Amino acid sequence: MPASKHHSLRCRDFELSMYKTSTILPSYLGPYEGAAKNREEKFCRAVDSFRVQTHWAKELIIVSDGCEKTATLYERHYKGDHQIKLVRIEKQPLFSGNVRQAGIEAATGDVICYLDSDDYFHAHHLSNIDTRMNERELDWCYYSDEIKVDTKKTIVRNVTLTHGVAGTSAIAHKRELNVSWSGCDGYGHDWMFIKKLIAASKNVEKIYGCGYVVCHTKNGIDL
């Protein structure tokens, strides 16, 4: 599917161009080892953080990983929002790349971002990605995310392109790169995909000022 054209706002003597961003949110709210608590509430928190983004050229692709709870929440709260769509697929193995790939295949935006159902964005997150990728004419980017350490505090995690550090909470990429999640399965699937991005394009930089907040980690944080 070809990438869509830039969306533009003309204001007298200047033109402000922006990418349309497609945020992929995989969702399975059933039980599994290590899952976050209160996941339906956190799912809604994640989706609501997309809705308040200051960047207006956007869409959210919720991929229901064989999960009726996800579909029910979408029907109940978000079906009427034209910027949010639901994609249903059969249940996949845990950490299967097929879930995010289904989201990419349904996307219509220029830039792909990711959001886990137990995390959230600050309101400026997508706008900052758009501004930096436009200014620097990047094919993809990475950035430091934030770890929520209590109900009122986050700390910035310095992200580098290193196995075990960089993940989908810290990357965005152009859809036209045609990098696939196929074969990126199991624990560490994020890094498998990032290696594909590295091979696809060296036109990448670290950008600053983004706002992805990680609320659930393997070392016990669950907020």
Residue 208 lies in a domain: yes
Q: Which of 217, 159, 165, 163 is nearest to 192 (CA)?
A: 163
d(CA 40, CA 89): 19
pLDDT in the model for residue 6: 57
pLDDT in the model for residue 33: 87
Q: Are 170 and 144 in contact (CB under 8 A)?
A: yes
Task: Read off the amino acid at residue 63.
Answer: V
Other CB atoms within 10 A of residue 125 CB? 27
E-strand stretches of 36-191: 58-65, 84-89, 111-114, 120-121, 140-143, 145-150, 153-157, 171-174
Write out the chain's pLDDT in tens, 223 residues: 444 455 654 443 334 558 999 999 999 999 998 899 999 999 999 999 999 999 999 999 999 999 999 999 999 999 999 999 999 999 999 999 999 999 999 999 999 999 999 999 999 999 999 999 999 999 999 999 999 999 889 999 999 999 999 999 999 999 999 999 999 999 899 999 999 999 999 999 999 999 999 999 877 789 9
pLDDT in the model for residue 7: 62
What pTM value is reported for the model? 0.92
How many structural domains does the chain have?
A: 1
Strands 140-143 and 171-174: antiparallel
- 173: CB partners within 8 A, 6+ apart: 111, 112, 139, 140, 141, 179, 197
Residue 133 lies in a domain: yes
Task: Read off the amino acid at residue 53.
Answer: Q
Which CATH number is 190's domain given? 3.90.550.10
Residue 37 — φ and ψ, nearest 5°? -85, 160
Residue 219 lies in a domain: no
Q: Are 103 and 87 in contact (CB under 8 A)?
A: yes
Q: Are 33 and 23 in contact (CB under 8 A)?
A: no
Residue 2 lies in a domain: no
Q: Which of 34, 212, 37, 25 is nearest to 117 (CA)?
A: 25
Residue 55 lies in a domain: yes
Query: H or E segment at 51?
Result: helix 39-51
pLDDT in the model for residue 4: 47
d(CA 144, CA 167): 10
Residue 11 lies in a domain: no
Residue 193 lies in a domain: yes
DSSP state of 222: B
**C-alpha 105 chain-centroid distance:** 14
> What is the domain extent for residue 203?
17-214
